[in-house]
Structure 1
């Protein structure tokens, strides 16, 4: 599994720096970022408006063409009543990545407060539908969230998917996991998004991540 391979890589290197962002980056841009010390990238591949993020999908392909071993994608689910069913959003994303030849390691479900209703049972069912579809399609996946988002959307004590890796979003300015406190059944962090909207090297605006 790609996640386990990356874990072994990180164990050997102690830690590694990565980024996520939504602007278009060329192959040469990814080469520049690699030379600047970045080793993994996570692209938005589905948007909260209910469609593919073609820029993000192309970025995965560009990262791979630049020699990056580790490129993931994240799904920002569409929650409006006019949106496709949660499992359909996941299926469309996975099939699009395959048809485009965008080779990713993992997909992450972006669970943050944007248009989620107050009904935590509804929200749990929505996430379950996405998660079960990912499992049925054989996708390696994890969850992007933090305590405040998880507590508001599904309740901090909901542990249904705590066996999946956690991409922890907390802008504490610390490139470590020292501020992490368990929630949702998670007792450790896979990736820490520790700063956002940073003017990074190579003309790229990025969120900073630590693995």
Structure 2
């Protein structure tokens, strides 16, 4: 386990998800402890668990700075986006370790939290309306869709509106991606498709099995 946790990592991770599960851990006594998992989506589109860490529930910026510095020291030099939710101090630690990395609120968590304030009979309609917000192509379009959501649902569910208002700075990260970064920068290449190598000269494409 130690060898796996210390293994070298890819220098480039387009997306890293950081989340926690709570499990019962026996120390001096049995208690629920958070187990934090960092999972990357690689340039090849594969999922890779970067590491696992045990916490005590009181983690802050210092803890996350240690975790992210460990990942950087193991080889992760650049990350396009870190997706997380409600982990105190993590956004500040991300900015310290990878200054150009975008911190994005996990939409799944945000939707689940939204449903806590809504009647079950309205979940489908609310999910459909909010999808127009977080899939909008630009921040301006996202604001327009959110204004429409406010008109339709704001009076009935003001808590959902407050929830999204408070999270807006990180929810809008995707529509707000920068467009004019230096050539060769990771953000500048986010739409590039990985090219397959050409077959050796004289060889045609390999037949399908």
TM-score range, shorter chain: 0.3 to 0.5
Rg larger for: 2
TM-score by length of 2: 0.33
TM-score by length of 1: 0.33
